[in-house]
Amino acid sequence: MNMKKRDIITGLVLAVMLVIASFFASRYPDGLERVSFDKNFKERENPPIITVIPGYVWPGKMNEKLAVFFGGVAGISIVFYSVCLVGRFLKREEQ
């Protein structure tokens, strides 16, 4: 398996396209949230201890879709680099 730079860019572009697709994501509650409403335990939920980019929406006053785009791209970048960092660290540890 040979992972070329072109493959990495293609994968990341596809991820960004998914972020754009998320503009049209359903606003309905997800499966667990729906069950928590139906079975009356939603009120047990505590607010998050810390908030950085809540709900994938970049903070500040801007167009909502743009805020989701920036939030999503920030997430993709953080996930990509943190996973690569973990991978490189594991490689070095083994060597």
Partner 1 sequence: MHIPDGFLNTGVLGGTWSLSVIGIGYCLKKTARKLKDRTVPLMGVISAFIFAAQMVNFPITGATSGHILGGTLAAATLGPYAAAISLCCVLIVQCLIFQDGGLTALGANVLNLSLAGAGLSYYIYIIIRKIIGGKCGIILGAGFAGWLSVESAAGLCSIELALSGVSALKIILPAMLGVHAIIGAAEAIATVLIISFVLKVRPDLLYNPV
Q: Given the rule CB under 8 A, which residues bind partner 1?
A: 1-3, 7-8, 11-12, 14-16, 18-19, 21-22, 25-32, 34-36, 38-39, 41, 44-56, 68, 71-72, 74-84, 86-88, 90-91, 93-94
CA 75, CA 2: separation in Å to the nearest integer? Answer: 26
What is the CA 76 to chain-centroid distance, rounded? Answer: 6
Please answer whether residues 19 and 69 qualify as being in contact, where contact means their C-beta atoms are separated by less than 8 angstroms: yes
Q: Which is nearer to partner 1, 34 or 66 (CB)?
A: 34
Q: Which is nearer to partner 1, 59 or 62 (CB)?
A: 59
Shortest Cβ 66–partner 1 spacing (Å): 15
Q: Which is nearer to partner 1, 2 or 63 (CB)?
A: 2
Shortest Cβ 61–partner 1 spacing (Å): 19
Q: Which is nearer to partner 1, 21 or 62 (CB)?
A: 21
- Look-up of token digits 């409403």: 37
Please answer whether residues 71 and 56 qualify as being in contact, where contact means their C-beta atoms are separated by less than 8 angstroms: yes
Q: How many residues does the chain have?
A: 95
CA 60, CA 10: separation in Å to the nearest integer? Answer: 30
